[in-house]
Chains A and B, each alone.
Chain A
Amino acid sequence: MAQESARYTELRARLVEPYEARHGKIQCVIKVGSATCELAAGAESVKEEFLKLVRASGRDDIEIKQTGCTGRCAKEPIVGVYVKGEKPYKYEQVTVDLVQQIFEHHILRGEALHPYILDKTTQNRYSYVVTMCSTICQPDSGIDWSDVFQDRLLVNNVDPAVIRVYQGGCMGLCVDQEERGKSMSMLVFPQRVTYKFSSIEELDAIIKCHFVDHQICEMYIAELDPLTNRFLSHYGDVAFFNRQTRITLRNSGLIDPDSLVEYLRVDGYASLAKTLEAKNRQDVIDTIAKSGLRGRGGAGYPTGKKWMAAHREEGSQKYIVCNADEGDPGAFMDRSALEGDPFSIIEGMTIGAYAIGANQGYLYIRAEYPLAIKRIENAIQQARAAGLLGAKILGSSFSFDLDVRLGAGAFVCGEETALIRSIEGERGQPVIRPPYPTQRGLWGKPTVINNVETWANVAPIILYGADWFSRIGTATSKGTKVFALAGKVKNTGLIEVPMGTRLQNIIYEIGGGLKEGRVLKAVQTGGPSGGCIPVSRMDTVVDYESLRDIGSIMGSGGMIVVDDQDCMVANAKFFLEFTQDESCGKCVPCREGTLRMLEILERIVDGEGTSEDLNKLERLGHLIKRTSLCGLGQSAPNPLLSSLEHFREEFLAHVEEKQCPTQRCKKLVRYEVIATACTGCTLCAKKCPVSCIRGSLRQIHHIDPSRCIKCGECYKVCRFKAIAKH
């Protein structure tokens, strides 16, 4: 065995084995989310309560540990209960009171508290859980394989009620392009076996064998995907998770982010050991290139190509940078990855550094992420102590170290040239490219800058191979993408889906559809640089090209669901306010143009816009897009331009009829007394803060529109629905 592998094995033996020995007797693990968002929701006191109860019970076979975020924002704090030999359960919105019940019923008596289980998806007991692979590779077939499966169960006299079926993500099990789109995979629990079939006959055969005869159907068995097969045992029977494919977030919410040992236990640093042992930089770059990994920061530049460019540059001093200046409003996947699985990012960067020949790296983390910074700094320290960072890593001749640099509080510092300037201590402002950072980057040296999510993908690609990775996704966009699903959808949070997943699948299956009675209007992707996709285009798949072609972008992965109560003009204004505020001020179109666009939008929502203003908005939008210096400016008009394109009638209503169809734009709203309904109770007149309602007792009241401040108080207090809001 080569020295590097031997060192790695020795390291694992030294750290993991004592851990396993210590934990051998553990019967139950309680995992409490401890990311920033979870802590804000009260996770700390939940954890303390568990500790108290465990101590009081005198049990020494229960372990409580912190994990990163699982991605279910609205349901936090989330507590996972992992009883040995049983399916795990995740509890939602756990309070201190609930902790006692969980402890008493579930941990001590083994009775799960079904009403409190995440998404309440496990109220029924199933004999089997089946995850069908996604049909993203068969976009035109129109077949819903989970329906077909249920039908075939009936045909074969199996009670569908005992089997829970998910339409999951892409499992990446197709061997080649030839097979793609022809065969389907399914994962069956609790047997943890994957079948592959390509016809209804074959599916029938599997059903007969597995679900009727209770035998493993050897003929159709496929290899287990290294990550997908762990899903059920990791997350339990929760649709939200089982419909995803998690590579970036593979360990988030599962392991203790402060523990190198736990990272090692999930094959952490195996990729680095493998890389250092093979001693072939070109091979690493080729693997990344072949995998089809593209930059997850938004632009989608092929990562392998970027590494190759830096690798080719002469010079002994090169740098690796992790761009963690996550700034899109509502996007927090980078924070979640840093807080939930810091070692995987460090490992990815170390592999990247080896590939291009860098000996120093920087993590540029926004200063507003104190916990992420703390966890990364802790991880760096532990990695250094274990010989996984610093001089002669794992006994090889390769040395590499990492330092953290804090973001300067500007959105533009996420732009790579501005980020470089900021690390150098200069004003964070983009500079002209070329030269590209791979040619002349940090302090003039060749530098590879990749986003957090990109770095998190590196180690699995090296470990499981380029083919494994490239099997997931579409022809041009490989792997998965993390999205921050927000807005008017039931299940908000961080999700990771294979490239090529349809928007409608994300919204209705993972997101659980819209809230009661609401109608989907649009989806906004890519944050302030992205665009609005109208409801008619929900069959669009998420990949770099498809999103770009409909006027949006992948961006860093913001995804906001907009319903019929949201005003598209106000929505566009919100994003423009952000970009206008964050414009660095260097180039004229972005600095001055966004200000003028915002002024026009302000006029429109104030009812002072004209239809000529819409032309001006378009003219300025195209100007900014086509002439700005950096990507921030070039994409700043996207939300507005796409809204104007798809929702022009809503803009026209604002400027021509001076009406906001959703009644969101306060100044355009009018309140009127409905004469037939008014009883003359005088309540509205009493409550009106500006006393603009006239009328005496038992007389029909009247609102003076010239003095009304549109506060809506009369509308709220009227007990007879006698105030109309237009």
Chain B
Amino acid sequence: MTINIMINDIEVTVPQGTTIMQAAEQIGVRIPRLCYLKDLSLAGACRICVVKVEGYSNFVASCATEALDGMVVQTNSPEIREARRDLVELILDNHPKDCQICERDGRCELQNLAYAMGVRERLFAGKRKQHPIDDSSLSVIRNAEKCILCQRCIRVCAEVQGVHNLAQMYRGVDTVVGPAHLNAMSESVCIYCGQCANVCPTAAFIEMNATDAVWKALADPTKHVVAQIAPSIRAAIGEGFDLPAGTPETGRTVTALRRLGFDAVFDTNFGADLTIMEEAHEFIKRLTANENLPLLTSCSSGWVVFLERFYPEMIPFASSCRSPMTMLSVLLKTYYAKQKGLNPDDIYVVAIMPCTAKKFEIQRPEHRSPNGLPYTDSVLTTRELVWMIKAYGIDFSCLEPGDFDSPLGFSSGAGDIFGATGGVLEAALRTASESLTGQPLEQIEFTQVRNAKDVKEATVMIAGQAINVAVANGLTNAKRILDRVKAGDKHYHLIELMACPGGCIGGGGQPYPQHGRYVLDEDILQLRANALYHIDQTKAVRKSHENPWIKRLYDEFLGSPGSDCAHTLLHTKYSPRHPRGIR
């Protein structure tokens, strides 16, 4: 069933059930919007997308109004433009006038709207709300003064992540968004994923800044400052410099880091390869013994906190492997320090991550060396690194690609795909399969676990055994699959869980969307994933266990996967983190 409507005197035919906003997009009319986000429920709160429909006395929100046959819509009449301008001004009037010093990197949706709507003067300015800043959390800062109450953070936290940490409190102009009873974020059920910061159109939620500490370390001659970059950084960092989405930028990122003054640049992918070695070993062990199955992956630190908070009874199923980041950091402060003859305390490890939860992870006591120092000293999000590069005056697009330092800079393609949903599982299957059969894989790509939109399941045959695997990204999806496991509906062997939509490529620390694009836009996530799969495809070594440096590491240092040494250095444990008041 299709219907016809007139938008700005242009006739458009759309399927029944299309909203006015969607219909307008079909003829290249992008109605301004603010609270709307494609993947979240409709709030209808900002009213910026109002349009005039002939015969209706009031304007209607085009995001929420279904186009009906014969509708005559005007998206840009003078009265509509004035209304939109005034609405944006009303938001601005209750928002700090500190754009010049705001952490938002010039990609502020409110600022862009104000410019586009032509708000050149303040007609209605008056009192402005005042709220304290909550910087209690290790990962995100909540600044309610910058909040424009679009409810995106509330919706992403509830709908995509299933955490429901954020809600509105008080009412009217006193409305404030925060955790229950406006408790400190550090005392809330927050799992630190940073999706609130990701979807925030302003800077009401933003990652805890680590750049100052990193600048300081870089300037300290006594420190040997090393960087490691996560797989998904290379797939997204280009967007921060207005390069087309989906361009792999491994080499230029390495060069940029060297220019910033890092003494060595390593690849978290190496840690990923190592993770696969350990995790595959762990999996085979459990599979053979048929105990503690399904094995739940543990790379995503947001997911790990979610598990500890909401599914503590399932902790025994989680892989005891540390995340690739921490594995690499551990090696940097042990293996690498020994090789280089450095005092581990003088090594300053900066991890460039797509993630704000990693900022929390590095502070966990489990991830500290025996002398109490953290294995990873600082975590920078992709956004923070982009800012540092810009602040340093480096023209990213002109850089020559560089290579990672040895020996912890070489990785297999299996490490690269860690950044996309299904990647960890695929990488693990590549290694586990060959380990079980002793035969090289005929088909190396397990495409059936790629590009999971919500929950994806597959059964793969390994050594004559049917292995039930599942992939979930976004914690609401994780919840769905965990509930299925708990209910005993289906017997799984291996489940990959990632906190963020699309996996790490959709992490809470990735560059803000370019103008006119959505955060978590499926197309952008797909382009970023494609970049990682492309890197994998073009690599000669595509299986973790075939990484020669990994083999050497085991030979020289760790022994074998699952050895006592490996266990001490590369594995961790979890404990329940009950939400306050719940036991």
Interface of A toward B, CB cutoff 8 Å: 410, 412, 427, 429, 431-432, 434, 580-589, 591-596, 599-600, 616, 619-620, 623, 625-629, 634
Contact = CB atoms under 8 A, between A and B. Distances in A.
Top 5 A-B pairs, shortest CB-CB distance = A585-B175, A592-B90, A583-B172, A596-B124, A432-B44
Contacts of A620: 86, 124
A586 B42 CA distance: 12
B64 A591 contact: no
A634 B173 contact: no
A628 B171 contact: no
B199 interface: no
A584 B172 contact: yes
B47 interface: yes
- Pick the most buried of B86, B123, B172: most chain A CB atoms within 10 A of its CB: B172
B339 interface: no
A582 B167 CA distance: 19
Contact of B123 (A586, A591, A616, A625): A616
A623 to B, nearest CB: 5
B46 to A, nearest CB: 6
Interface string B70-93: 000000000000110011001101
Interface string B180-191: 000000000000
Contact of B45 (A410, A619, A629): A629
A412 B94 CA distance: 22
A303 B320 CA distance: 62
A440 to B, nearest CB: 13
15 contacts: A432-B43, A583-B171, A584-B172, A585-B171, A585-B173, A586-B149, A586-B175, A588-B47, A588-B149, A592-B173, A594-B172, A596-B93, A627-B59, A629-B44, A634-B58
B581 interface: no
A626 B83 contact: yes
B346 interface: no
B124 A625 contact: no
Contacts of B20: none
Given A596-B90, A596-B124, A620-B124, A591 B172 contact: yes
A614 B323 CA distance: 62
A587 B171 contact: no
Contacts of A588: 45-48, 87, 90-91, 148-149
Nearest to A429: B168
Given A427-B167, A432-B64, A582-B172, A587 B127 contact: no
B61 interface: yes
A591 B47 contact: no
A580 B90 contact: no
A416 B42 CA distance: 18
Contact of B50 (A585, A586, A627): A627
A585 B90 contact: no
Interface in B75-118: 82-83, 86-87, 90-91, 93-94
Nearest to A582: B172
Given A585-B172, A596-B126, A616-B124, A623 B87 contact: yes
A585 B168 contact: yes
A427 B64 contact: no
Contacts of A619: 82, 86, 123
A410 B172 CA distance: 11
Nearest to A612: B123
A623 B91 CA distance: 14
A411 to B, nearest CB: 10
B39 interface: no
A592 B59 contact: no
A629 B43 CA distance: 10
Contact of A599 (B50, B64, B126, B171): B126
Contacts of A593: 90
A585 B48 CA distance: 15
B172 A589 contact: no
A583 B173 contact: yes
What is the interface residue range for chain B against chain A? 35 or more
Nearest to A628: B47
B3 to A, nearest CB: 16
Q: Which of B50, B124, B149 has the largest count of A CB atoms less than 10 A from its CB?
A: B124
A595 B90 CA distance: 10
Contact of A586 (B45, B57, B58): B45
A137 to B, nearest CB: 29
B564 interface: no
A432 B46 CA distance: 12
Nearest to A623: B86
B174 interface: yes
Contacts of A627: 47, 50, 58-59, 83, 87
A634 B56 CA distance: 13
B61 A589 contact: no
Nearest to A430: B44
Contacts of B151: 586
B174 A589 contact: no
Contacts of A595: 94, 126-127, 172-173
Nearest to B42: A432
A596 B148 CA distance: 16
Contact of B171 (A410, A600, A616, A625): A410
B29 to A, nearest CB: 19
Contacts of B50: 626-627
B61 A432 contact: yes
A253 B151 CA distance: 48
Contacts of A616: 123-124
B32 to A, nearest CB: 13
Given A596-B126, A599-B126, A587 B45 contact: yes
Interface in B36-67: 42-48, 50, 57-59, 61, 64, 66
Contacts of B66: 434
Q: Which of B57, B83, B127 has the most chain A CB atoms inside 10 A of its CB?
A: B83
A305 to B, nearest CB: 19
B169 to A, nearest CB: 9
Contacts of B170: 585
B168 A589 contact: no
Given A589-B47, A592-B90, A616-B124, A626 B172 contact: no
Contacts of B93: 592, 596
Contacts of A634: 58
Given A432-B61, A585-B174, A616-B124, 17 more contacts: A431-B44, A432-B44, A584-B172, A584-B175, A585-B175, A588-B48, A588-B91, A592-B90, A594-B172, A595-B94, A595-B126, A595-B172, A596-B93, A596-B124, A599-B127, A626-B58, A634-B58
Nearest to B60: A627
B125 to A, nearest CB: 8
Contacts of A589: 47, 87, 90
B86 A591 contact: no
Nearest to A633: B47
Nearest to A630: B44
A584 B171 contact: yes
A393 B316 CA distance: 54
A723 B148 CA distance: 51
Nearest to B34: A588
Contact of B47 (A581, A600, A629): A629
Contacts of B86: 619-620, 623
Given A427-B168, A627-B50, A627-B59, A591 B83 contact: no
B46 A587 contact: yes
Contacts of A410: 171
Contacts of B127: 595, 599
Contacts of B148: 588
A432 B91 CA distance: 20
A596 B125 CA distance: 7
A588 B93 CA distance: 11
Nearest to B175: A585
Interface in B143-177: 148-149, 151, 167-168, 170-175
Interface string B482-498: 00000000000000000
Max chain A C-beta neighbours (<10 A), residue from B61, B83, B86: B86
A470 to B, nearest CB: 27
